[in-house]
Amino acid sequence: MKKNLLFILALALPLLAFAGKKVTFKMPDVALPVIPNNVVTLTDFGVKGDGKTLCTDAFTKAMKKLSSMGGGKLEVPAGIWFTGPIQFESNIELHTAVGALIVFTDDYDAYPMIETMFEGNTAKRRMSPLYAYNKENIAITGHGTFDGNGQAWRPVKKLKLTDAQWSALTKSGGSVEKNIWYPEIKERAFNRPVLLDFMYCKKILLKNVTFSNSPAWNVHPCICEDVTIEGVNIKNPWFAQNGDGLDLESCKRAKIINTTFDVGDDAICIKSGKDAEGRRIGKPCEDVFISGCTVLHGHGGFVIGSEMSGGARNIRITNCVFNGTDTGIRFKSTRGRGGLVENIFLDNIRMRDIVNEAFTFSLYYANKPVGGKADKDTSAEDAVPPVTEETPCFRNIFLDNIICHGAQRAIYFNGLPEMPINNLVMKNSLFMAETGADINYAKDITFENVHISVTKGEVLTKSSAEVKIK
């Protein structure tokens, strides 16, 4: 029998009409790149798009030619363009025609080892197929597709494939250890790059193109300013290990609009470094506007964490659809991270057929709790640690008009006893799920005009939590 928690449902009220501890969101303007009018075409440099001719030198020469002219547009015609990594110079737009497919080589040695950031820390990894460091005014536009040839790099877990798929994969070469397949050159699995890695760059535009089949994460702007992503398709196989869609890390002023994600890990992910190094760098991800995006597959639709040691603030996500993701809205961290996450606004979100939780807060990500509940509903008796710079803090989170049709669990909060989730307001929302809301270690939680419908269990359970129902 269905059980309901009904607070006079009202759907479509303005996001910022919150009482009590009101926090407002004002998105600053995001500057677009300025590209000079100079134009060169890739075929000007003696290559053809036959899928066989290696075009690495042609891309390099074209970039340097444009750079010597003060910048401009590099046009890539229709065809299959086979290449090594493309390194961007400032003031350059890479424009791809309809029917242009850029396929990156699986030649391991074509990608030099460089110092970059991955999973929140400085790391030595292979150069990304699309790479820029300390550049400004860079753009990738048009309607072409960038294929990262990820199958040459990624490990694959047996549990993510059918028996027939696993059999075909293992017969293709490589090696198997503990039910994980590795490529022929095993080192690929441990230093594989993200597909697009722009670090310390300013005024970035990604528009209308497709990024697919990445070796690790797909799109990774890191410590950048003024990032615009519009009308982009970001795709990975659903079994792709570390196959995130967008990891926006420690960026200031970003706009992600009308973009579609179908990936193997978290889809839209906000990050800012990990543990001591993330706190030392101290670059929050801030002033981010996300609108009109669709997620078809992913571990989470919209995600903050798990690397957020530099903090995150002033982020709004609106008018988005999550269809069949493992979780819908996902916050995650753990002791040792530190970092302040605040002023997060979500409104007009539609979710359907969510595999696990529609909305989840896990502050025991990849860890077991001390003094509280674990995500697997176990408990620990150890003493609660003191609050330090290593204690993550989440506060001032506001949700309005969140609708979910189908989930295993509607809401799950698991805060820290020493630092509960603080000041979260949800209004005008509907959840239809197998089980209801489970809220632990949270304070100043307000549900106003919220309806939760469940097929079993209690609609709302709580432990060490302050929940107001209006």
- Residues identified as active-site: 265, 299
C-alpha count within 13 angstroms, C-beta hemisphere, residue 316: 20
With contact defined as beta carbons under 8 Å apart, do 402 and 410 qualify?
no
* Residue in the structure block whose two tokens are 């506060």: 395
Question: Residue 107's CB: how many other CB atoms inside 10 A?
Answer: 12
Q: Is the dihedral of CA 103, 106, 108, 114 positive or negative?
A: positive
Q: How far apart are CA 43 and CA 469, in angstroms?
A: 65
Taking a C-beta distance cutoff of 8 angstroms, is the pair 287, 257 a contact?
no
What six digits make up the tokens of 376? 């697997």
For the stretch 276-282, contacts whose Cβ atoms lie closer than 8 Å and that sit 24 or more positions apart, written own/partner, are 276/309, 277/120, 277/121, 277/122, 277/309, 278/120, 278/121, 278/307, 278/308, 278/309, 278/310, 278/337, 278/338, 278/339, 279/309, 279/310, 279/338, 279/339, 279/389, 281/223, 281/250, 281/310, 282/310, 282/311
CB 177 within 8 A of CB 186: no
Residue 401 sits at φ, ψ, to 5 deg, of 60, 60
Instruction: Return d(Cα 116, Cα 118) in angstroms, integer.
Output: 7
Query: Whole-angstrom Cα distance, residue 408 to residue 403?
Result: 14
End-to-end CA distance of the chain: 24
